[in-house]
Amino acid sequence: MYASAPYRHAPAALQSALIGLRGAMRQAMREGDLCRRHAEELARTERFGQEALANWQREQLHRSWLALRRTPFGAGLPAPPSPRALAKDWAAAWQALPILDRPQVAKLGTALCTPAGPWWQSANWRFGSQTSGSSGAPLRLVGTRDSVSREQALVRRQMQWAGWRPSDRRAWLRGDLVHPVDRLDGPFWRDSASERMRYFSSYHLSDATLEAYVRALQDWDPVLIQAYPSSLALLAQALRARGRSYEGRGLRGLMTSSETLGEGERAVIEQVFGVRVSDWYGQTERVAAIGQCEHGSLHVIEDYGFVEWLPREDGLFELVGSAFGNEAMPLLRYATGDLVELLPEEAPPCPCGRAFRRVRRVLGRQDDVVHLPDGRRIGRLDGIFKDLQGLLEWQIRQERVEEIEILYVLPDGAADFDEARMERAARERLGAGIGLRIRRVPRIQRTRAGKLRGVVCLVGKAAGAEGAR
């Protein structure tokens, strides 16, 4: 919507009305009776004891396993034992299923999808999505309307853990192109009346625009701010450098996701905004989630998906997740590639009383922020690649403030790629004031830990810093 000519040329008030209309349509699709039923179930499952939670998880896995057997890929897999049998010999039964990684899932594609149910049953309606490919091959994913409503209920519960309640105001600072990036006159936000939400552009943050952002946040006075860590950190660091704090009176919580939140960033953000940060880890694949409760503990969200730990180097574990509730594309034993540091077994229980396991930290996305000549700082640029078909991998590199380079990899033997479309998507977010080079390469360098970083900015960094993470 944001890139369309009607939206770009509409006055700000009409743009807000269009965003509000879109928000109302999304609410009608995601919420309603389906979402309420899932919310009621989640209110029960988060208070289950260990035994009740394990029994409930086995029932969910049994259902997902049956769905997997209805796919072309799963037809050759063994049939699932009953939940009761799973309880008796869990390890042997579960390990009959293979662990799949991102390249394997990308190659299998629709072979992991079940036949569609009757179209007149709205819970069976199917929706497609695509990962950005910033950590490997992009994936085309499919979900039912029921699974989308369940996801919404889970996110709303996490928002409640952060202090939000239905009908409270929210602020959103997460990469939406609500204001054309080549316009620096503002306002850099739009209001959605249907969602009681103020959407901020994360592409116009700079020293020159800081005061406008802070005033707009404080005037809106949200109860919850949902943001990329990089965007929130830029605001907090700029305010602290001026010896100031956020002055909104209604704020009860901050919710960050989609990027790794460093402890240094967390400390600055919480000091400046005066409330706790509630961090959330998830993926577009929706196989697992980790979120912070009201006491600050990082919990595995055990009623979101089933999580296993694969031992890796340095005492870390790779997260392997199995999805609950998506019968369109049941991903089981999916290796996310993200690493987790566990808490020691002797750690005291969390005061929240939930039976969900806890972790010390998640080592997920660790991308840099790019620097633009006009003073803006932008993180989380994977939206450039969301709808581009045929990419294996990509990386944004910056060595000088005046220029950004985009590297991309295609499958062997692939025809030429539509670079003009990629450039248009990049310009929508970066503007015309910076040089842009796009280059196809045979491979993209990994870090020493074997990770593909989506954004590498070497501006102002010492030589050799790139491969450290």
Q: What is the pLDDT of residues 157-168, one digit of tens each?
A: 999 999 999 999
Q: Is the pLDDT of residue 94 over 90?
A: no
**Region 179-193 average pLDDT:** 88
In angstroms, the Cα distances linking 137 to 76, 159, 173, 233, 437 are 25, 31, 27, 29, 22
- Percentage of residues in the chain with pLDDT exceeding 90? 48
Could you give the CA distance from residue 376 to residue 397 in angstroms, rounded to a whole number? 16
- What stretches of 193-304 adopt beta strand conformation (E)? 197-200, 224-227, 253-257, 277-281, 290-292, 298-300
User: How many residues are there in the chain?
Assistant: 469
Top pLDDT among 396 and 415 is at 396
Vertex 87: Cα angle to 84 and 92 (nearest 5): 115
Q: Can you list the domains of the chain with their CATH numbers?
A: 370-468 (3.30.300)
pLDDT of residue 366: 60
**Region 184-208 average pLDDT:** 90
Residue 460 pLDDT grade (very low, low, confident, very high; cuts 50, 70, 90): low
- Percentage of residues in the chain with pLDDT exceeding 70? 93
Top pLDDT among 129 and 198 is at 198
**pTM over the 0.85 mark:** no
Residue 469 pLDDT grade (very low, low, confident, very high; cuts 50, 70, 90): very low
Q: What is the pLDDT of residues 205-244, one digit of tens each?
A: 888 888 999 999 999 999 999 998 888 988 998 898 889 9
In angstroms, the Cα distances linking 121 to 116, 124, 144, 153, 347 are 11, 6, 11, 20, 47
Could you give the CA distance from residue 35 to residue 29 in angstroms, rounded to a whole number? 10
pLDDT of residue 136: 52
Nearest CA to 109 among 128, 134, 83, 86?
128
**Region 46-64 average pLDDT:** 93
Q: Is the pLDDT of residue 126 over 90?
A: no
Beta bridge partners of 306: 322
Q: Is the pLDDT of residue 464 over 60?
A: no
Q: Is the pLDDT of residue 284 over 80?
A: yes
Q: Is the pLDDT of residue 416 over 80?
A: no
Q: How many CB atoms lie within 10 A of CB 197?
A: 21
Q: What is the pLDDT of residues 290-313, one digit of tens each?
A: 999 999 999 999 999 999 999 987
Q: Is the pLDDT of residue 463 over 50?
A: no
Q: Is the pLDDT of residue 462 over 60?
A: no
Q: What is the pLDDT of residues 370-395, one digit of tens each?
A: 888 888 888 778 778 877 777 778 88
Q: Is the pLDDT of residue 34 over 60?
A: yes
pLDDT of residue 123: 67
